[in-house]
Structure formats: structure tokens, C-alpha cells
Structure 1
Amino acid sequence: MEPTRVEFAGHNGLKLAADSYGTPGNQPVLLAHGGGQTRHAWGGAAKTLAAQGWHAISVDLRGHGDSEWCPDANYSIDAYAEDLRKIAATFDRKPAAVGASLGGSSSLIAEGEHPENVFAALVLVDITPKVEEEGVQKIRGFMHANMEEGFGSLEEAADAIAKYLPHRPRPKSLEGLKKNLRLRENGRYYWHWDPKFSTGPSRPRDA
């Protein structure tokens, strides 16, 4: 099942890219990825949901994937939450939402700080009441490590991920990794998100 590419207008009109799986008009479920990821992180789950009769929409959060980079580097949790509220309002009925890490925090804020229900249901993945500062610094260190120089090849990027996540089996094919990287004119690969996402004035509370 191949998705249909769609686009939404987020907070202040920022263009947000998304993939639509299944039949529009079915009960929608909005899938929001974690910081530093892209909509493709939910590709497998979206296909499964669509096969079960849901209309699954996997979105690139602002500054990630094919969504626009924010001109003023507003990557605050409130901006992400407002983006999700804007997307949810485009459907005829309230969507369910599934959010991981940053996507989960944003979904929770979108729902909890709005006077009326935004979502029909909310599923949080990799969300805790508190985070360990050591873990946060490890994530930021990984995100910053190759931000400016990028990677000379997909294999080099895969090596960096394997070092960061030694417990995760290394994929046999690196084709999926391309979806999380941008190939620039200089022939080097860079992460598929705005560098100001992690260094700008409105950095999210956690990734």
C-alpha cells in the first residue's frame, strides 16, 4: 500500500508534509513522530492501521522531513501542539492521535491545554513524567555530533546510529535510512531536520 502525499497548514501557516494511508472519511488517526525523526517512522504502523479500516495520517513535524523549517526557529512544544490542533481541525470528525516522544508530548499539550477535546483518543509512546538529564544530554550529543559536517555515505550514518544504539540490530538494507537524511549538492548526507531544532532559541523541552 503506497501512501498519498498531503499537506497541512500548521501554526502561522507553516507547511506540514504528511502521508495519508487508507480511505479518507474513515475514522482518522494522526501519527506524530519523535524529535529528529520523520513521518516515515510510522510507515509500517500506518499501513497496518489502514488495512484495519482506519484513515492513518503520518505527519512530518515542523522542521522535520519535508515540512517547512520555521523562519524564526520556533520549535517550542506549544508550537508543535498548535500544529497538531490545526491538523486535527481539518477532519470531519476528531482523529485519534498516536505520538512518540516529542510527538507524544505535543499531542498531550494539544489535548490538555485546550478547552474542548482535540482528539477522540490519545496514545502516548515513550513518554514519562520526568526525564533523566543524562539521557537528555546523550540524545542532544548524538543529534549535534554530525550536524554540521554530515556523513560521507549511508554506511557512515549507519555506523553512527549503531554506536548510539548498540542494542539495536543493524538493518541489512540502508534504503530506509535515506528517508531520514538529506543528500546535498556537496555529496554528503545530513539529518532530515532543521539544525535550529536543537540549537535555536525555542528548543523543545525534550526530543
Structure 2
Amino acid sequence: MKTRQLIIGNKNYSSWSLRPWLAMSVAGIAFEEVLIPLDQPDTKEKILNYSPAGKVPILIDGDLTVWESLAILEYLAEAYPGAGLWPDDPVQRAEARSVSAEMHAGFGALRDHYPMNVRKRIAGRASTPAVDKDIARITEIWRQCLEASQGPFLFGTFTAADAMFAPVVSRFETYGIEVDDICRAYMDDVLTIPVLEKWYAAGEAEPWILEHDEVE
């Protein structure tokens, strides 16, 4: 039997890597982790050994290669239907896919201004109107989902939608973004997922520094 591998970047910085890693870890889908440090002289060459797209994350499952976070989550949901990566209810499943796709395609201002950095706590960094708009929409999504599901996660139990928003939770925590009580409770529930705490601990211990993500 061939080993299932997930190729990821630095745990301190790689928000896209976190998404499938967290989903697989919470769902109990076994995999071998292969970490390729980003922005090193040989990074591109190493990643190209796994995928011609040249980016992480990459899932290798037997003879199949799946790259790109949301595609990996969709594949896993189909390959492991008992893992609960999408809600069972078709309406909730459509909503979960919608908010996940919105996360995947949008919120560029937030991502650029507040890069993921689990080692840092930088409360009070000045925002921008575009970032404020992203934050308002994200918290609106969270409130609507949580009010409908009653939590603790967006659709009750942990799903791929929570995996997609986990790096945003990390960013909000790093930069001290103020949110309402409903969103704060959700953030706390995500941040205390045991496997996510392990990811953060590993990220904090990494030796690599990416200057462009070390904002003040």
C-alpha cells in the first residue's frame, strides 16, 4: 500500500497548507507530512518533484496527485464520505461549499495586509478600508452560520468550511482583531482544537524567517 502524503510549506506562514492538514488531522485521515520550507533556493525544485503547479499544498494519494487546498478538501470529502468534511444536509452542504469558495476566492486585502504568522502578536496594526470590508464580511459569514447551527463550529460539527477559515482565525488572533462575542467564541473553539495547537507549536519552533511576512 502506497503512503498518502501531504506536501506543505512552513507551519508558521503557510495558510493554504494549514487548510487540508487541519481537515485531515481532525477527520483522522492518516497521512505522511512532507514539509518544504518556502522561499529557499531549492524550494521550487523540491515542490516541482511533486506537482508541476509548483505550489503547496499537494496531496499524493496512491497514484493520484491533487494540488490546491479546496480541490484537496473536495477530493477527501468524496474519497472519505464518513469523515464529515461537508454537512450531511444538502442545503447546509451547499452553504458550506459557498462560504468555503468565497474564502478561497476572496479576501485578498486581508491576506496581504495581515499575513499568517503564528509566532507573532501584533495588536493595533493600522487597517485599511479594504481590509475592514473583508473583516466585516467574514464576521457576517461566521455569525450567520453560527446562529443557524448553534455552533460550536460553522455548521455544528467541524467541517471543511472551518478548515478554510482557520487561517483567518489565526490572523485575527495574531493582529488582535476585535470581533463580537459570537465570533470570539468561535475563534476560541477553533484555536483550542488539539491538532491545531500542535500545528501552532510546530510553527513557533520553526527556524525559518520570511521577511515579507514579518510585518509590524
TM-score band, normalised by shorter chain: 0.3 to 0.5
Q: Is the strand fraction higher in 1 or 2? A: 1
Q: Which has the higher contact order (CA 8 A, sep 6+)?
A: 2
- Higher fraction of helix: 2
Q: What TM-score do you get using the length of structure 1 for normalisation?
A: 0.34
TM-score normalized with structure 2 length:
0.33
